[in-house]
Amino acid sequence: MSIVLLLIGVLVVIVFLLVIVFNRFVKNRNVVKDAWSNIDVALKRRYDLIPNLVETVKGYAAHEKTTLESVINARNAAMAVPSDDINAKIKAENQLQQTLRSIFALGEAYPDLKANAGFLDLQQKLNEIEENLERSRRYYNGTVRENNTYGESFPGVLFAGMFSYQHFEYFETEEASRENVKVSFN
């Protein structure tokens, strides 16, 4: 009788531990998805602002058509990526961020544009969105780190396959986007 009770006790403890591990996987996955949704909201705000910025720049730098088209193309490509495909979204956002930097480089090259109140307002709004995105990215990367660490360490690694553990990628910028934008008017 005592062996049966001992086995039942051990079984209850194992089930209890499995429930705790499972709930931690669920919590981590949901926190990462919540962090991603914060980024997604800021990206949508940025997408809405970009056409206004491009239209403002068009009046001052009409011969910079290729720069403006590349910004619009990058925006459209980023919007076309499903928000649940996080890795593809990160890649598209890095490309968009790089093209946006080229628009602000145009602002430096055209003093009249740089002094335009509409351009300055749009630039300020975009800077606010970028700061919000930066905070959201840091938070997202922190949640990804916690999720991935738990799934790759003990005891999570033992049950990762059983509980459909999902490894997430960090939101990192590409090497090319870290370089200064070069604008040439030759």
- In this structure, are residues 67 and 81 in contact, taking their beta carbons and an 8 Å threshold? no
Other beta carbons within 10 angstroms of residue 181's beta carbon come to: 16
Q: How far is CA 71 from the centre of its chain?
A: 18
Per-residue pLDDT of 83-140, as tens digits, reads: 888 888 988 988 888 888 887 787 777 777 767 777 788 888 888 998 999 999 999 9
pTM above 0.75, yes or no: no
Q: Is residue 2 part of a domain?
A: no
Q: How many domains, in total, are found in the chain?
A: 1
Q: Residue 104 is part of a domain; what is its CATH number?
A: 1.20.1440.20
Domain range for 128: 36-177
Per-residue pLDDT of 159-185, as tens digits, reads: 888 888 999 999 887 655 445 444 443
